[in-house]
Structure 1
Amino acid sequence: MKQSLQLKMGQQLTMTPQLQQAIRLLQLSSLDLQQEIQEALENNPLLELEAAEESFGDNSGEHSNDSSADSNDSHTTSASASNGDDAGVNDQLASGSDDSQLESSDAMAKDQLPDDLPTDSTWDDTYSAGSSSASSGGGSFGDDDEMSYQGETSESLQDYLLWQMRLSHFSEEDELIATAIIEAIDEAGYLTVPLEDILDSVSATIDTQAEDIGMEEVCMVLKRVQQFDPLGVAARSVAECLDLQLKALPADTPWVSQARLTVSEHMNLLASRDYRTLARKLKIQEGQLREVLRLIHGLHPRPGDTVIQQSAEYVIPDVTVVKKNGRWIVELNPESVPKLRVNEEYAAMSRHAKNPEDGQYIRHHTQEARWFIKSLESRNETLLKVSNCIVHRQQAFFEYGEEAMKPMVLNDVAEAVDMHESTISRVTTQKFMHTPRGVFELKYFFSSHVSTENGGECSSTAIRAFIKKLVSAENAKKPLSDSKIAELMAAQGIQVARRTIAKYRESLNIPASSQRKSLL
């Protein structure tokens, strides 16, 4: 085969580092973006926050208006603060500079100190004051300063039970059994390991006394653990958990005997909500059964949840929607993305650097800082443009609620803002919008459509809202079936199959009509 050269022309998209950075920032959530910004501030000495510099400038302006004596002190402190700032940057520049550059930087910093120091101060005092001033509160706390929050120590259910065990005066062998039982309890408070396995594990731990430990002793220790707080802990089933709580009630509690009989022998009837058969088994009337059910509903089928406190998860909205002069306006949340800028004072050092390596180091980080700021601006512009398009298309939702939601897919927004569909997917993932109706992820506003009787379209989100509204208003004694819900929606011109109703109902975590039936 003969080799030859050929000339071809074509178009190809090259993923430059700047484009890769912009795409990566675009798909980050607000929390991840704040972490990314913090890392950039720590790694790039040419990047800084605008707010920090403005507040520092305001403080220096206030000091300049004081009396002459105070002005002299504040001038000393301000000069020392500049010394501290320059020293901090010089430390960062030291990675690409030699000793001569450090000496020149130190000399420049010394020139900024006042020639005349107060008579009651020394060099060390002035330098220390400048360091604490430059730190902007990052050093020691004053008398009036609040200590910063250092985190919360949470106690697990096992820790709580082990604490009670140490106060119960168990023998050494019983304490080993109780510890094995407690370690086998899940977060809901149920014992997840058979007693036989617990006996085997304890016997393997104390081989010399294995013959003295039997199943009776394990059962006895289990009963003692089941008396711990919260009531119902270490149960092996829901029926046993509820029975333990009922057993702890006073003996003269009304209907407690019928309630214990229900959870111990007729749990299947209670789960299937077969109240007629259950009343016949208990030999009571419907009104009396209602009191029994009210007593059972007051129990805790997951006792562990009463001890373990779930930490609240907060969402920082990226954009805010408000109504001004009859129009819905989209605004970026300034708290989600802080304002950054390039430190021009340090960037100008590249023109006066005596060492070429120092100048290259400053120019490189200056360019990186500008690329990072430009990528953030591009992210904000894209997010604002997409959010405006969503609000414009879903104005009915903001006016009337979920039932007025219109069907919309990613391609609709992509064509409106002249962007690729993958870009719309990135910018709407893990991005949140704060509205008068609550905080929603941008993905929430996208949904498929269902044809209506008059030839229109209805959003699947609106159908879910209709289902939720119908179920919330139904008679608890005669809940609506999926077929009945389909008929009611067909009466409003929305043709939805029964299977579709069932699918949307399950997505809303709404049980079937047989499980929604209640006497209460």
Structure 2
Amino acid sequence: MSLALKQQLKLTQQLLMTPQLQQAIKLLQLSRLELADTIRQEIEQNPLLEELSPGDADYESVQNSLSATEEMQAAPEPERTGEVNMDDVSSMQEINWEDDYANYYDAGFSFTKETPERNRLTQIDFLTKETNLQSHLQWQLSHAELNKELKEAGLFVIGNLNQHGFLEVTVEDIIREIGCDEETARRAIAIIQEMDPPGVAAIDVRESLLLQLKRLELDDSLAAEIIKDHLHSL
């Protein structure tokens, strides 16, 4: 059984050639004579179709619809009333980005106030810049109100996650490399484990699954009990 933590964002766009669209493209390529011949053949082959004459009420309705469509296509393009200056971000001031991110992550720590001299990602950078797991965790850590030693320990933890998001160092490794005490090392691991995605920074699959259940407030559930005691049997 192989489980891994991954982040993936995929956007695709495709044009589906429906039978109606294929028929419309085919008819648009015909000349007037070819179109008339094609319509005549369709009427002969399909008994449900009938040709309208100028005296029929349905014929007049179709003509009125075509005239209305031509008038709409011939209508002049509306004038521009103004342009939006992307440098003017006053319209975004009503959005509390800090609270929105805090509510989304619910990571158990508060976010710091933005200061002009602080080199932090803007909202547009966050939405458009391609990120991986480590940079995503570093972004969350940069917004946490932590002391310098705890942030250094947190960065060390993030830097020692493998491609699946599992922690590859021990508490003793953190103490030795950062020069912190055991409490700081364990707290740094716990802070990263509270970040998004759930289950990150676990030492194995078992702990990762338990962290995910804890995030869902299911750490005392039957599923958690099965994972704790019987995962090796699955």
TM-score range for the pair, normalised by the shorter chain length: 0.3 to 0.5
- Normalised to the residue count of structure 1, the TM-score between the two structures is 0.20
| Greater fraction of residues in strand | 1
* Structure showing greater Rg: 1
